[in-house]
Amino acid sequence: MVRITVWNEYKHEREYENIRKIYPEGIHGCIASFLKTEEDFTVRTATFDMPEHGLTEEVLQETDVLIIWSHALQDEFSDTVAERVQSHVLGGMGLIALHSAHFSKIMKRLLGTSMTLKWRHGDREKLWCIAPSHPIAKGIPEMIELSQEEMYGEFFDIPKPDDVIFNGWFSGGEVFRSGCTFSRGMGKIFYFQPGHEEYPIYFKPEIQQIIINAVRFCAPIGESRKKMECEKVEI
């Protein structure tokens, strides 16, 4: 079984009627519900308002892949919890960061760059699959049309990814590395750009399939979770 924790800030859905209409159960509720249809996935959710943001040591120890969506409360996120998540990723926990979670403390810590980008509200996107042989691209069409999406554009200040699987094109002519993988310690990370809260992006079957594929890709292999400590070796 792959044990998944879907973490969401869960702020916009409670504050704005138009967003609550799209995600009445929150973005985390939507993502959890399609993940639960996979027989080998067990899914729990956590949100910002829970003690320790719901990401206690115990929860992380029981998590193979953590999915995060965040936006408005990035600065308020606990440094202690961000450090805890970082150490679990280094030890082999998979991490999937969605949309504006690029700018989370967790991602900034793990990737070490500013994570800045260009953005503009109210655009449309053609999401091109540029690495069709990658496991995250399995069963995904050459291009996914997103009739409404926020524009994220280059330069995206990330370290060089292991793989770029999706490139986004926007009507203003901007392009973006929309789906990238990274390795940190024993952990695999996938960043995926689509998912602005004002549009029903996570209800789209192709987007759901990409996230399902990414969970399988980022899950630790066998018993590979470990604490990253230096070992003294005798000759």
CB 176 → Zn ion: shortest distance, Å? 13
| Residue number with CB closer to Zn ion (97 or 219) | 97
| Residue number with CB closer to Zn ion (64 or 150) | 150
Residues 6 or more apart whose CB falls under 8 angstroms from that of 87 comprise 227, 228
* Phi, psi dihedral angles at 122 (to 5 degrees): 65, 55
44: left (phi over 0), alpha (psi -120 to 50) or beta: beta
CB 150 → Zn ion: shortest distance, Å? 4
Distance (Å, rounded) from C-alpha 1 to C-alpha 56? 21
CB 182 → Zn ion: shortest distance, Å? 21
Judged by the rule CB under 5 A, the positions of this chain that interact with Zn ion are 100, 150, 196
| Residue number with CB closer to Zn ion (41 or 48) | 48
Rg (CA), the chain: 17
Structure tokens at 129: 């699959």
Query: Which residues are registered as beta bridge partners of 98?
Result: 69, 192
| Residue number with CB closer to Zn ion (44 or 119) | 119
CB 71 → Zn ion: shortest distance, Å? 6
| Residue number with CB closer to Zn ion (192 or 217) | 192
CB 227 → Zn ion: shortest distance, Å? 35
Q: Which residue is nearest to Zn ion (CB)?
A: 196
Residues 6 or more apart whose CB falls under 8 angstroms from that of 199 comprise 22, 146, 148, 149
